[in-house]
Structure 1
Amino acid sequence: MMFNSSYFTPETFFLTGLPGLEAIYPWLAIPFCSMYFVALIGNSLILVVIHGNSPLHQPMYLFLAMLAFSELGVSASTLPTMMSIFLFSTNEISFNACLFQMFSIHSFSIMESAVLLAMSVDRFIAIYNPLRYTAILTVPRITRTGVIIVLKSVVIMFPLPFLLRRLPFCGHNTLSHSYCLHSDLIQLPCGNTRPNSILGLCIVTSTFGLDSLLIVISYGLILHTVLGITSGEGRRKALNTCVSHICAVLVYYVPMIGVAMVHRFVKHAAPAVRLLLANVYLLVPPVVNPIVYSIKTKQIRHGLVQILLQKKCAICDLHGIQEFEPGDSRRNGEAIQAWKP
């Protein structure tokens, strides 16, 4: 630690896992590792399917690729410290690494919220004006939207690490989560954190607050448009196109609201419960969304099947097995004979 009169800049921070549950960390690592595996593999497969299938280079799927990318970023940002705590019982993180993790987590979270808003606008245009849907949401326009979302997420978070670096710390370097968050870090300095708090509040209001409000407005407009459809079957089909996105919005915002409510009103809850909910808040959306979109979206499901079939063919080629018609017993016999070592 570098001391300067009555304050110092800590070299490391100490992260908090789940207090009181240290004895079962190896067992807790199993569900956490499983969730990370599903999140990383699931979102990666979504990106591979969309990238490798030109028919999926349409607005809805391009926005879905952006969502998968942002969720991969959130998962990759929290993975190192979470796994180091639950697998190796190591809870130290360097000062600079902590600031970088904070920046990454918040940037990708802001990006995810903005993509969910863009997807709600996409669903509104698809239902309100289906004939001009692809003419309005062209690939260049979607690309510009994605670039703007990324730049906005990075630029809006850029000042916070520098504002934190200028603050003096007075003996406290223990954080209350398994990862670094801005709201947690500004509790530690003994200097004036008002600029950090004001900027943090502005960021939350102008991103999560505004995005959620605009999503609600978008779905109000969608509902008004759907009610104007005379055919009951048409209304059902129109709403069915929004089911996956509604699930994504609920999975993203409900845990966030739940964590805020627990911190605000359930003061007597055990610290481990609050911290577990905070961990679930960041882990659940990247896990659930690929599953929901794979189940509800036929094109994504078919793309995943194609990838699995390609892997199967590659394995067959590796062993010298040829695929024949099921009814051709001669050729099946030849294939079996050829496969024998």
Structure 2
Amino acid sequence: MELLKRILSGGLVVLLLGGFTYSPSASVDEPSVNIQKKPKTLVLTKKAVSQSKLDEVLQRSRKKAQEEIVKNAALLKSNETEQVINYYYIEDGIGYFYELTPENSETYIVGDVVEESEEESSFSALATIPNGIGGRAVIRQNGNYLTTTVRTATQAQMGSTTNGIAWTYSGFSGVGDSASGNPGFTVEADMGLQYSNSWGYVIWKPHVGYYNGTQLRGTFLSGYDQVQYKNGFKGGTDVNFSVYRNVNNNLRLTQSGYAECGDMNCNNTSDTWLTSILEIANTKVTSVTQWKILATVAGSEDVTGNNYADFKNIMVDGVAKTPVIDAQEYATINISGNRATITVSH
């Protein structure tokens, strides 16, 4: 997620929300989050957003953070790994980003997201890889969710990708509501990771893109610069993907794995278990025509670069599925059962 590039030059509103204790019922063995400080909060949107909406999303974010901490506790207890939770919720062109660090420090940032009205999607439903190179494999069936574990590329495997951006992601083509709210519209979801080595280390940052008559990039508008998202999943490690077409009418991507840092600004540089949840409201996807997995380098038709992704244990609705090759441009896809390895080089 190319998060928060530059604080708006004018009209910045800084809002501190009142702190409260959130501690849902839990068993004796379950951890709980006891939050009493005010979150570090920036409201950057130029759109009208009510205090009640800000409070509602904050409370939802805290609830999801608690659920993830409880769920991950048994997994991480044996090696005493700390965890950081990111929840990014998009509704009506406004993105709400929430983070809870291992120290129970909270960050809450609200800003306008990139939306582009276009007649045709430039996303990856085409027979070739649009605006770049790479490989795509698909599973041509309906379903509610796709899960897979992805081994991300290392810096050595990436080489020097100098004139493009590398992406490793999943998603689907399907049917849902249009941007204007009309049902039965052809939609496209790209949900996964973006490569970055901007800060001297290799990370794969969570990202979501969605097309329903409008291109929703899932990133904040350019113009935000004071706060930057410097964290992400470590290169050469496994990242768990869960892609949901419809959770209470919303599109959702949940990812988890070892991150480079324990917070978005990378003040805590110890390895930390990151759970990232990205959700787009009111997409109302009713069906999927095909699920997809991709590794690409995008930016232009003459882009050069490398990428590598190993998608393991690919499942739809909990059932193992064998994908089929759909597109290869300067890419090789090897499929064995419900595993697919994509190597991109040009």
TM-score category of the 2 structures, normalised to the smaller one: under 0.3
Normalised to the residue count of structure 1, the TM-score between the two structures is 0.23
Q: Which has the larger radius of gyration?
A: 1
Structure having the larger proportion of residues in strand: 2
Normalised to the residue count of structure 2, the TM-score between the two structures is 0.22
Structure having the larger proportion of residues in helix: 1
